[in-house]
Structure 1
Amino acid sequence: MDQPKTDSDPEDIEVDKEMEADRVEAEKRHLKKKMEEELKQQELEHQKQIEEKRLQDLELTRKLELEKRLELERKQEEEKRLEEQRRIEKKQREEEQRLLEKKQEEQRLMALELKRQQEEQRKIEEQRRYEEEQNRIQELKRSEEQKRLEEQKKLEEQRRIDEQKRILEEQKKLEEQKRILEEKKRVEEQKRIDEQKEEQLKKEMNAQLQKKLLEVRKEEENQKSPGVSQSPRTLKAQTESPKT
């Protein structure tokens, strides 16, 4: 009765080992490709978020510039209106002065005529007119002084309002700068967290891969039959670690 070949079983074991090693290598390549694709997708998403943030910042800057321009135009229009108002008031005062001077001249001529007609009556009337004129001049001066004080008060109030507006604008600028700095800090912190998550994911994937390799090696060891006669070639194959 013929004896069965004893060196065929070790060869089959070696072939199985090589096939298993090829399978493990293919799984590693697949995992690596999948991880690279995920990292690429994360990078694209991150770039998209950065671009969206940049567009938002540009839109906000445009709005702020528009508001500043409109505010400047409003101030210029207000200044033109005040200038026109001052011009009209000046013209009115000049007209009043002209009429006053005309009236004074008429009164002077009338006084001369009355002097020629009746000296005593002229003296009485002249004194009366003089006193009335003085009172009227004093009243006019008082009125002019009142107008001047009111105009000064208006100008001081306008300066106070303008100063308040300037302070508010400065506060808005400072708040906007603070918001931009906080947003930049938040983005940098998010970037750091994302990098930590990415590093942790790499570690977990490496750990899973190492665990998978250990399970494969253990399974290979368990599949070895202790009753099979082993040639020197088989013993050498068992003592070597699987190729990765």
Structure 2
Amino acid sequence: MTREELLYNAWLTELNTRLGRYIVRLIDEAGRHPDDASSFPLEELETSLSEDLTELAKAIAEKAARRSNPQPPLDLATDDTALQAALAYAAMDLPVVPGAVWHEGRFVDPITGEPVTRVALQPADTATTDLAQVREWWDTPTRRGQAVLAVVGPKLGAVSIPLSLTERLVRHPWFTTRPTPVVQIPDLPIAFVLYRPPTPPSLVTDHVRLVDEGTTIPLPPTAVGTDSVGWWTSPEQTGNTLLTGQELADLIHSIEGQQA
């Protein structure tokens, strides 16, 4: 099972737990006296669940559509798109490593075409912002098909959030004037929001999951199946800067407070 599939299953498990709590809440409501107060409005819980279930339906439909289409032959990149992207990310102080590519339901080394068990083709703890090292990893014709992976750690933080919250985040007036990069991976009902550590405890909420240190996140132009990883908000749109963890936490709490 791939890391993306594990993240997807973790999201499904969390959604299933919340759905179970909703059912229990309905049972409680049936026997509740009209004057009894609840600390969490049922309408808010229903709205949140409906948004997540809508995202689940979309993800299932997209997966079904992809399975009906055969995978094309492995196409190794011959231009320097990945190299230029890796150099740009490193210049932003985002640690990167080269990665395998997804092909016919498995990860393969784009140099040999052989299956691999690890997404990163270099250890995550060797992730670098050194431009010379980046060139060495990507700047040969046989290596240009390698994925570009950012590594979460002391220089880069990331959280995953549902797409419904992502849409509210990128439309928020404060975010439009002070954005941070947001990554979209095909088939996942979540997006990854990048920020600068440290990570304040308040950043993690019911809808915001912290990405562990050492985790790799594919960045454009990395391909997943027949699609490429994309940006909700690109580094160019942010002026090649990231929000701090505290700034992101304050923004998300503001958005969740407006929904309450």
TM-score tier, shorter chain, comes to under 0.3
Instruction: Pick 1 or 2: higher relative contact order, CA cutoff 8 A, min separation 6.
Output: 1
Q: Whose strand fraction is larger, Structure 1's or Structure 2's? A: 2
Q: Which has the larger radius of gyration?
A: 1
TM-score, with structure 2 as normaliser = 0.22
